[in-house]
Amino acid sequence: MGASRIVILTGAGVSAESGLGTFRDVGGLWDQYDLDEVATPEGYGRNPALVLDFYNARRANCRKAAPNPAHAAIARLQRQHRGRVTLVTQNIDDLHERADSPEVIHMHGRLLRALCAACGHQWGWAGDMGLGDHCPSCASVGTVRPDVVWFGEMPYQMEAIWARIEDCDLFVAIGTSGAVYPAAGFVADARDRGARTLEINLEPSDNASLFDQRLLGPAGETVPVWVEGMLGGGE
Ligand code: BV8
């Protein structure tokens, strides 16, 4: 019996072959930067210039990057699978969109958007962000931050995500270490509802024991093979 309500959760590993660094692999972002200094509201409060520079560097890398075959295959599954495919990403890059995914839930926000810390206004932002930038809605200066979810902040669209997970019959995690909550808890939520669970990763994640099946290898190779099977009558 094939899957008809699929939830896919992606992490930094799906963008690794596009040249965007992961967080916890050797040499990853959390080896280069102190997470508490660049990915928390407290760090932003202590040194906003450092935080803006951190995201300016990632935004520049994102602009230079291109989607890889894993992003393309996920978009193909979303467009061609006869059932419902929900894509939730922890990533803040726009590579799923640029691979033509029709719907992407960015639970940790988006690098190419800005948020006003004073009034909550959100708008598109493609270039560098500085301390002198102002909010187009409330005109505040010095309150413009990347529209990303830092540690200790509420992820976006959690109710919608949980509703899809409660209803899914297949949960697939692609390129995520299973180290960050609430995303790392989704597989247990899905299992509790009777869904099958599949992990596609370079190596087993922290919560690997919760997955019924595993496909190991680079996402750019493994995801297209999996999608072909899903669309070729395998599911
Ligand atoms: C929350 C956005 C309450 C910005 C990120 C104390 C105080 C407050 C909270 C906590 C606390 N202690 C614990 C918590 C909870 C905390 C948490 O989980 N901390 C961890 C460190 C223990 N979580 C939070 O604070 C969250 N908010 O809890 O609010 C709440 C709870 C429930 C409901 C409502 C409210 C907010 C977390 C979001 C933080 N923001 N980033 C930015 O990107 O800069 S997290 C950051 O880690 C990224 O978003 C990233 O996506 C995420 C997870 O990392 P991964 O994507 O998995 O990447 P990683 O490098 O770890 O792994 C890469 C994987 O890919 C590996 O498995 C590797 O093998 C694989 N791979 C590599 N290459 C390839 C590959 N796979 C395939 N192919 C390849 N080529």
Torsion angle of the four alpha carbons 152, 156, 158, 164, in this order, in degrees rounded to the nearest 10: -140
Q: Does 123 contact ligand 1 (Cβ within 6 A)?
A: no
CA of 140 to the centre of ligand 1 (A): 30
* Cα distance between residue 73 and residue 223, in whole Å: 6
Task: Give the residue from 148, 174, 201 where a domain finishes.
Answer: 148
**Candidate of 181, 186, 198, 215 to mutate for ligand 1, largest count of ligand atoms within 8 Å of Cβ:** 181
CATH code assigned at 131:
3.30.1600.10
CB atoms within 10 A of CB 43: 20
CATH code assigned at 231:
3.40.50.1220
Can you give the pLDDT of all 235 residues of the chain as single tens digits?
A: 578 999 999 999 999 999 998 887 887 887 888 999 999 999 999 999 999 999 999 999 999 999 999 999 999 999 999 999 999 999 999 999 999 999 999 999 999 999 999 999 999 999 999 999 999 999 999 999 999 999 999 999 999 999 999 999 999 999 999 999 999 999 999 999 999 999 999 999 989 999 999 999 999 999 999 999 999 855 4
Q: Which helix (H) or strand (E) holds 173?
A: strand 170-174
Task: Tell me which residue range forms the domain holding 72.
Answer: 1-20+67-108+155-235
Structure tokens at 121: 């206004």
Distance of CA 212 to the CA centre of its chain: 22
**Candidate of 14, 18, 22 to mutate for ligand 1, largest count of ligand atoms within 8 Å of Cβ:** 22
Q: Domain check: are 57 and 134 in the same one?
A: yes
Q: Does 38 contact ligand 1 (Cβ within 6 A)?
A: no
Crossing angle of helices 219-229 and 69-80, in 10° steps, is 20
CA of 181 to the centre of ligand 1 (A): 6
